[in-house]
């Protein structure tokens, strides 16, 4: 163990992360004791595409930020007021920090909690503009509001055995599922998923779990498209010079789908001959083109209010050129925002434990040590068709 008793992955400017000694967590919020919190020994913590946006310099994230919002761990200390979580429990941490007491939390909208961020509704661990919470790409981390937030796995040995699957419950599995639920995916649906990164693949698995008849996954990365094919999706190479309607028709025989999910977000590129240039609204515009009239688009892909790395001045301030009139004319519904992960965690846990889904295989998990995090970020940035899962204590390796 390091002299500080803790190490974490720290953002050090565009393109740079470093594994450094960081403070060992305390049961404290500022200067007051956090008796409703716990300290976790982090068993797994994942590199997310949202982390990658910050590391690329595409947000206003400050240097020195400890990264990581996808956390699974073992409870090693409980605050005085924690009643239902015990030392030794293995738990999933929803990436949204949520108090459980405000009006939004009480109606299940934990992604826009009113009490965990002074600047705007909603908090998250290790993320820009989300309340300053210390991230969990570390050996140890503090989690507040433990009784409300934590999902305790029912059996310790079973949890360790399935940890590469269960670690996806902190974010990308609920996020992909939320995108599909918001898009109205149901048994027999035809679904288009934009993006074959980990969230897109998690959305594709979720669509299958919800009973979709055909799941089409669009991307420009051949390896990621092959990963989508590996579990029964229809891959769609967006480097082809054809309209989105034509591409969809080449698969389905008709130029539209019942539901669409944007798992790309603000770093989107145009397709076909325009694929080398960023077009932040291209996925949303394509989704409007191919979604049935009266249909819905789930948007778990990240959009930001400030993007200092954008190619266009307007996009640097979150302004993108959507064909909103097309959406209005077709009566399309848009469903945006972070995912209230807690809403879906328990049922998705049951699907994993009862072997109804193998999310780790679908997203192609690769376990790495904490010291390998900088290389994991670099490989992910190059388009590796993998989900990098950090194992800070060598629990699984």
Task: Give yes or no: residues 65 and 17 share one domain.
Answer: yes
199 has a pLDDT exceeding 70: yes
Q: Is residue 221 part of a domain?
A: yes
Give the pLDDT score at 270: 81
Task: Give yes or no: residues 40 and 165 share one domain.
Answer: yes
Share of the chain above pLDDT 90, in %: 90
From 130, 210, 126, select the one nearest 176 (Cα to Cα). 210
Q: Is residue 66 part of a domain?
A: yes
The answer to whether 210 touches 202, Cβ cutoff 8 Å, is: no
Task: Give yes or no: residues 139 and 214 share one domain.
Answer: no
Give the pLDDT score at 2: 45
What CATH number does the domain containing 230 carry? 3.40.50.720
| DSSP one-letter code for 269 | B
Tokens matching residue 341: 């992960």
Tokens matching residue 159: 């949890």
Tokens matching residue 1: 């163990």
Domain with 21, as residue range(s), is 7-171+344-390
The count of structural domains within the chain is 2
Task: Give yes or no: residues 75 and 184 share one domain.
Answer: no
Give the pLDDT score at 62: 95
Task: Give yes or no: residues 88 and 232 share one domain.
Answer: no
CB contact burial 349-379 (16+ within 10 A = b; e otherwise)? bebbbeeebebbebbbbbbbebebbeebbeb
The answer to whether 10 touches 17, Cβ cutoff 8 Å, is: yes
**pLDDT single digits (tens) 258-290:** 999 999 999 898 887 666 778 889 999 999 999
Output the CA angle 337-340-345, nearest 5 degrees: 140
Question: What's the mean pLDDT when you consider all of the chain?
Answer: 95
Task: Give yes or no: residues 327 and 362 share one domain.
Answer: no
The more confident residue out of 35 and 31 is 35
Dihedral sign from CA coordinates of 16, 17, 20, 23: positive
Q: How far apart are CA 349 and CA 333, in angstroms?
A: 29
pLDDT band at 307 (very low <50, low <70, confident <90, very high): confident
Q: Is residue 74 part of a domain?
A: yes
**pLDDT single digits (tens) 329-343:** 999 999 999 999 999
Q: Is residue 2 part of a domain?
A: no
Tokens matching residue 84: 């239902």
Backbone angles phi, psi at 337, to 5 degrees: 100, 165
| DSSP one-letter code for 14 | T
The more confident residue out of 335 and 310 is 335
**pLDDT single digits (tens) 105-159:** 999 999 999 999 999 999 999 999 999 999 999 999 999 999 999 999 999 999 9
Task: Give yes or no: residues 251 and 327 share one domain.
Answer: yes
Task: Give yes or no: residues 106 and 148 share one domain.
Answer: yes
Provide mean pLDDT across the span 34-59: 96
Q: What Å distances lie between residue 358 and 155, 168, 231, 348, 362, CA to CA?
A: 18, 10, 10, 11, 6
Q: How far apart are CA 19 and CA 92, in angstroms?
A: 23
Last residue of a domain, one of 288, 307, 335: 335
Q: Is residue 239 part of a domain?
A: yes
Q: How far apart are CA 152 and CA 85, in angstroms?
A: 7
Q: How far apart are CA 227 and CA 13, in angstroms?
A: 31
Task: Give yes or no: residues 272 and 238 share one domain.
Answer: yes
Q: Is residue 367 part of a domain?
A: yes
Provide mean pLDDT across the span 192-201: 98
**pLDDT single digits (tens) 8-28:** 999 999 999 999 999 999 999
pLDDT band at 1 (very low <50, low <70, confident <90, very high): very low
Q: What Å distances lie between residue 186 and 76, 181, 182, 258, 291, CA to CA?
A: 41, 8, 11, 9, 15
Q: How far apart are CA 136 and CA 302, in angstroms?
A: 20
Give the pLDDT score at 312: 85
Share of the chain above pLDDT 70, in %: 98
Q: Is residue 1 part of a domain?
A: no
Q: How far apart are CA 140 and CA 10, in angstroms?
A: 14
Q: Can you list the alpha helix ranges (DSSP code H) found in the chain?
A: 49-55, 103-106, 146-149, 156-161, 163-166, 172-183, 198-209, 222-229, 244-252, 282-290, 324-329, 342-353, 359-363, 373-381
Task: Give yes or no: residues 79 and 213 share one domain.
Answer: no
The answer to whether 144 touches 34, Cβ cutoff 8 Å, is: yes
Q: Is residue 396 part of a domain?
A: no
* Beta strands across the sheet bearing 234-237: 234-237, 214-219, 190-194, 257-262, 291-298, 333-335
Q: How far apart are CA 41 and CA 22, in angstroms?
A: 14
pTM of structure: 0.96
Task: Give yes or no: residues 141 and 202 share one domain.
Answer: no
Q: How far apart are CA 282 and CA 49, in angstroms?
A: 18
What CATH number does the domain containing 25 carry? 3.90.180.10
Task: Give yes or no: residues 159 and 177 share one domain.
Answer: no
Q: What DSSP letter does each residue of 36-98 carry, written as one string?
A: T-EEEEEEEEE--HHHHHHHTT-S-PPTTPBP---EEEEEEEE-TT--S--TT-EEEE-SEE-
**pLDDT single digits (tens) 67-101:** 999 999 999 999 999 999 999 999 999 999 999 99
Q: How far apart are CA 4 and CA 10, in angstroms?
A: 15
Tokens matching residue 303: 């959009």
């Amino acid at each position: 163990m390091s002299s500080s008793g803790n190490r974490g992955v720290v953002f050090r400017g565009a393109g740079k992360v470093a594994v450094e000694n960081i403070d060992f967590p305390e049961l404290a919020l500022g200067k007051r004791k956090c008796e409703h919190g716990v300290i976790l020994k982090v068993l797994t913590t994942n590199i997310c595409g949202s982390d990658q946006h910050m590391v690329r310099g595409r947000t206003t994230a400050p240097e020195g930020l400890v990264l990581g919002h996808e956390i699974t761990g073992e409870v090693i200390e409980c605050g005085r007021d924690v009643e239902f979580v015990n030392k030794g429990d293995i738990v999933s941490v929803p990436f949204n920090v949520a108090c459980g007491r405000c009006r939004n939390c009480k109606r299940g909208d934990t992604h826009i909690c009113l009490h965990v961020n002074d600047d705007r509704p909603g908090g998250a661990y290790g993320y820009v503009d989300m309340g300053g919470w210390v991230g969990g790409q570390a050996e140890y981390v503090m989690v507040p509001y433990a009784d409300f937030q934590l999902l305790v796995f029912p059996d310790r040995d079973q949890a360790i055995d399935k940890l590469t699957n269960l670690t996806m419950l902190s974010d990308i599995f609920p996020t992909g599922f939320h995108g599909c639920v918001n898009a109205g995916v149901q048994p027999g649906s035809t679904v288009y998923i934009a993006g074959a990164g980990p969230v897109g693949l998690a959305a594709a698995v979720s669509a299958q779990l919800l009973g979709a008849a055909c799941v089409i996954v669009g991307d420009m990365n051949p390896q990621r498209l092959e990963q989508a094919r590996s579990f029964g999706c229809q891959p769609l190479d967006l480097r082809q010079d054809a309209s989105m309607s034509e591409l969809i028709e080449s698969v389905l025989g008709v130029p539209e789908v019942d539901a669409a999910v944007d798992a790309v977000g603000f770093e989107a590129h145009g397709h076909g001959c325009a694929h080398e240039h960023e077009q932040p609204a291209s996925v949303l515009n394509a989704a409007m083109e191919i979604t049935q009239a009266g249909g819905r688009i789930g948007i778990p892909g990240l959009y930001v209010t400030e993007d200092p790395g954008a190619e266009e001045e307007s996009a640097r301030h979150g302004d993108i050129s959507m064909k909103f009139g097309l959406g209005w004319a077709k009566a399309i519904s848009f469903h945006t925002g972070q995912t209230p992960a807690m809403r879906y965690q328990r049922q998705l846990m049951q699907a994993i434990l009862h072997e109804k889904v193998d999310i780790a295989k679908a997203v192609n998990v690769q376990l790495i040590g904490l010291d390998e995090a900088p290389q994991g970020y670099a490989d992910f940035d190059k388009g590796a068709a993998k989900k990098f899962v950090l194992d800070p204590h060598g629990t699984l390796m």
